[in-house]
């Protein structure tokens, strides 16, 4: 008896406050984002971008671009890593990544050979960061071997460590680790998959 | 141990529930303000929230404070919460909408607004959100038993109002 009446009341409450539509929530999200940006509370902004090598996730802190991730890395895993290592104050905020997105589109259209956006290297440290700092010296359309990069950063024996630095590059594409290949000419591993790496090298070779 | 979820996940997972709470307590127009204020405050405090905390209960707690502030601040609301006063349309966005709630639903709107605050909060947090009485008590104060009584009394009154309308 009581539970029957209670469920009637509960059903009434559902009518009273029905689940909001996705559009209503989108409007509120936009409003939240605006307030959060004004208050300086968006520590990490992100958006996705469709490209010839799949959907990329782009993330930036106020200091600069902090992460470029390939689809195969998984959105949840990438955002989870950012929450733990940078800040959990993460919101989808496409506007802050407009310039990066535009430059990537130009790159894929062969109208751009290097990127001009501020970078936040928070996710990289020590030797790996040093290796990544060197990589922009490998020009568009060129490649270098892991060994050559090791020698260039004054640590010729650290070939494997150079491989690790490239494999864990938080900013693939923008920091061109795809231009580092094995000395026998084999493309080698890549965060976006070997096929994506070959695709980028073909794109640049045609440029 | 799993780290904290990105705040975007918190918004997408709990945004709808928080909006329903705000609408049930405040009506459509103020609900949007309360929702935005709630998530803005939550975003600010989020890094300090203990890992493993009940995020939904935490958000409802913040929404509760915003709702109480808004209710206190507005004379309109004080009049509005008095029984017998005509609903001015603030509580339900679809009052004038022919496809909106039926008269019985509007009776429920009036009846809910007419409940003493503690009962209204307890009914919404327990029956609409589904929080256990322990969590409801943590939000509105008092013991879990008192929260259970408030929700039960509130439901009894709504039931009576509903019965009278039928």
- My answer on whether A95 and A130 are in the same domain is no
What are the chain B neighbours of A96 within 8 Å (beta carbons)?
none
Cβ of A17 within 8 Å of Cβ of B23? The answer is yes
Which residue in B3, B19, B35 is closest to A80 by CB distance?
Answer: B3
Indicate which CATH number applies to the domain containing A39: 3.30.160
Say how far apart CA A177 and CA A170 lie, in whole Å: 10
Cβ of B123 within 8 Å of Cβ of A9? The answer is yes
- My answer on whether A130 and A200 are in the same domain is yes
- My answer on whether A157 and A201 are in the same domain is yes
pLDDT for the residue numbered A188: 81
- My answer on whether A137 and A202 are in the same domain is yes
Across A8-22, A35-49, B4-18, B100-114, least confident range:
B100-114
Higher pLDDT, B151 or B104: B151
pLDDT digit string, tens, across residues B94-130 = 333 333 445 555 566 678 888 999 999 999 999 999 9
- My answer on whether A26 and A104 are in the same domain is yes
Interface test with B, best of A11, A16, A83, A86 (most B CBs within 10 A): A16
Q: What is the pLDDT averaged over residues A71-97?
A: 96
Provide the strand spans (E) within chain B.
none
C-alpha to C-alpha distances, A147 to A40, A55, A144, A192, B165, nearest whole angstrom: 43, 31, 8, 22, 83
pLDDT digit string, tens, across residues A165-183 = 999 999 999 999 999 999 8
pLDDT for the residue numbered A18: 78
pLDDT for the residue numbered B165: 59
Fold (topology level) of B7-165: Butyryl-CoA Dehydrogenase, subunit A; domain 3 (1.20.140)
* Position A49 in a domain: yes
- CA B60, A61, A71, A80 dihedral sign is negative
Cβ of A31 within 8 Å of Cβ of B21? The answer is no
Q: What is the ipTM of this complex?
A: 0.90
Say how far apart CA A122 and CA A63 lie, in whole Å: 10
Cβ of A13 within 8 Å of Cβ of B128? The answer is yes
Check pLDDT > 80 for residue B147: yes
Q: How many CB atoms lie within 10 A of CB B53?
A: 10
Q: What is the pLDDT averaged over residues A5-27?
A: 77
Indicate which CATH number applies to the domain containing A196: 1.10.10.10
Domain that holds residue A27: 22-108
pLDDT digit string, tens, across residues B37-94 = 999 999 999 999 998 899 999 999 999 999 999 888 874 544 544 443 334 433 433 3
Q: Which of A108, A139, A160 corresponds to the end of one domain? A: A108
Q: What is the pLDDT averaged over residues B134-146?
A: 96
Helices in A39-158 by DSSP H: which ranges? 75-85, 98-108, 126-134, 146-152
pLDDT for the residue numbered B12: 96
* Position A173 in a domain: yes
- CA A3 to chain CA centroid, Å, is 51
Interface test with B, best of A7, A33, A35, A88 (most B CBs within 10 A): A88
Closest A-chain CA to B36: A32
Total tally of structural domains belonging to chain A: 2
Check pLDDT > 70 for residue B7: yes
pTM exceeds 0.90 for this model: no
pLDDT for the residue numbered B110: 73
Closest-CA distance of chain A to residue B34, Å: 11
* Position A77 in a domain: yes
Cβ of A15 within 8 Å of Cβ of B105? The answer is yes
pLDDT for the residue numbered B92: 39
Give the burial class of B96: count Cβ atoms within 10 A of its Cβ; 0-12 exposed, 13-18 middle, 19 or more buried. exposed
Cβ of B43 within 8 Å of Cβ of A41? The answer is yes
Check pLDDT > 50 for residue A132: yes
* Position A96 in a domain: yes
Element containing residue B15 per DSSP (H, E):
helix B7-26
What proportion of chain A, given as a percentage, has pLDDT over 90?
A: 86
R_g over Cα of chain A: 22
* Position A35 in a domain: yes
* Position A92 in a domain: yes
pLDDT for the residue numbered B93: 38
Check pLDDT > 70 for residue B1: no
Closest B-chain CA to A41: B44
Whether A34 and chain B come into contact, CB under 8 Å, resolves to: no
Is A177 catalytic? The answer is yes
Does residue B90 sit in helix, strand or coil?
A: coil
What are the chain B neighbours of A80 within 8 Å (beta carbons)?
2-3, 5-6
């Amino acid at each position: 008896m009581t539970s029957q009446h209670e469920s009637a009341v509960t059903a009434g409450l559902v009518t009273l406050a029905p689940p909001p539509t996705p559009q209503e929530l989108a409007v509120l999200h936009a409003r939240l984002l605006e307030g959060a940006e004004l208050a300086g509370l968006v520590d990490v902004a992100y958006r996705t971008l469709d490209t010839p090598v799949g959907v990329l996730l782009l993330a930036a802190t106020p200091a600069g671009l902090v992460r470029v991730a390939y689809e195969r890395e998984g959105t949840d895993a990438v955002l989870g890593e950012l929450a733990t290592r940078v800040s959990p104050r993460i919101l989808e905020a496409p506007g802050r990544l407009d310039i990066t997105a535009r430059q990537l589109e130009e790159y894929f259209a062969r109208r751009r050979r290097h990127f001009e956006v501020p970078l936040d290297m928070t996710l990289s440290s020590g030797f790996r960061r040093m290796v990544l700092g060197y990589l922009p010296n490998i020009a568009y359309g060129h490649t270098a071997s892991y060994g050559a990069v090791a020698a260039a950063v004054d640590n010729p024996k650290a070939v494997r460590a150079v491989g690790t630095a490239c494999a864990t590059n938080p900013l693939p594409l923008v920091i061109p680790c795809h231009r580092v290949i094995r000395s026998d000419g084999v493309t080698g591993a890549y965060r976006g998959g070997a096929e994506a790496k070959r695709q980028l090298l073909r794109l640049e070779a045609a440029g | 141990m799993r780290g904290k979820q990105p705040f975007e996940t918190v918004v997408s997972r709990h945004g709808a529930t928080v909006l329903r709470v705000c609408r049930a307590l405040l009506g459509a127009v103020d609900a949007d303000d309360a929702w935005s204020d709630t998530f803005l405050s939550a975003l600010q405090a989020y890094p300090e929230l203990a890992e493993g905390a009940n995020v939904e209960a935490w958000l409802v707690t913040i929404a509760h404070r915003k709702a109480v502030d808004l209710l206190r601040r507005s004379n309109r609301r004080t009049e509005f919460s008095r029984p017998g006063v005509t609903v001015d349309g603030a509580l339900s966005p679809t009052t004038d909408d022919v496809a909106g709630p039926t008269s019985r639903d509007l009776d429920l709107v009036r009846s809910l607004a007419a409940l003493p605050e503690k009962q209204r909060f307890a009914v919404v947090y327990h029956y609409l959100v589904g929080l256990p009485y322990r969590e409801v008590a943590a939000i509105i104060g008092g013991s879990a038993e008192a929260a259970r009584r408030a929700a039960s009394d509130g439901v009894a009154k709504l039931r009576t109002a509903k019965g009278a309308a039928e």
